[in-house]
Amino acid sequence: MVSLIRQSIDIAGHETIVSLEPVVWKRLREIATERRETLSGLVGTINADRQHANLSSAIRLFVLRYYSDQIDLARMVA
């Protein structure tokens, strides 16, 4: 069983607790660094764009889509 890491994130001035798997936190931080964004800024964008899922699920989907898109781009170039 994978344990979740709970972290407090400031989203537009409001503290929110988000629980994610360690690998998801790691990849989310990598994406934020690559995009030259703060972690809070990136999570705020994900939060603003989400439709129905809770924030943790929306973050997981964002990370999955991000890396899926990277794979698709690599295939197109190859």
Closest by CA to 9, choosing from 1, 23, 19, is 19
What is the SS3 assignment for 14? strand
- CA-to-CA distance for 59 and 77, rounded, in angstroms? 27
pLDDT confidence of residue 77:
81
Q: Which residues of 13-26 are buried (b: 16+ CB within 10 A; e: fewer)?
A: eeeeebebeeebbe
Residue ranges per structural domain of the chain: 5-77
pLDDT in tens, 14-56: 999 999 999 999 999 999 999 999 999 999 999 999 987 799 9
- Hey, what are 49's tokens? 């764009």
Topology given in CATH for the domain delimited by 5-77: Ribbon-helix-helix fold (1.10.3990)
| CA gap 70, 35 in Å, rounded | 14
